Amino acid sequence: MDPKNEMFIFIVEDDSHFRETFSDVMSLRGVKVSGAGTAEEALKALKTQTPSVIVVDVRLPDMHGFDLCRRLRRMPGLQKTPVMLLSGVSRYNDPRDRVEGLLSGAAAFLVKPITIEDLWAQICAVLGRPATEFA
């Protein structure tokens, strides 16, 4: 793969099964994925990594996803990195919550359940890249 076309996704998701499945599927596409199960783990890892996009679950065990997004927006080198929020809780599916998520700095707010293919399509859309580029 041409290095300038490499994609690196960082996923912050406390569901380790979802995180591992997503990583496995993306590796088949030649996409590098790293991840964390908590916001604190993510903040520590992202001090030394610069992903193409960051996917954040809204409900993390140690911090709300909106707050993590705000903190990522202030981190050196990550201010322009797109952050995508994922929520599986119907409480956060209200349009006002979506607006709050976007105001926290997110490029997209997606609702679970979501297939990995749909998540992939949304990641590519946020990055302005065709989903078939890494097929």
Please determine, looking at this structure, whether the domain spanning 28-52+65-130 carries the CATH number 3.40.50.720: no
* Closest to 38 measured CA to CA, from 17, 18, 20, 64: 64
Instruction: Kindly report, residue by residue over 36-95, the tens digit of the pLDDT.
Output: 999 999 999 999 999 999 999 999 999 999 999 999 999 999 999 999 999 886 565 677
Return the pLDDT at 15: 94
Q: Is 73 exposed, middle or buried (0-12, 13-18, 19+ CB in 10 A)?
A: middle
CB distance 39 to 60 below 8 Å: yes
Q: What is the pTM of this model?
A: 0.91
Mean pLDDT of 111-122: 92
Please give the mean pLDDT across all residues of the chain. 90
Return the pLDDT at 105: 93
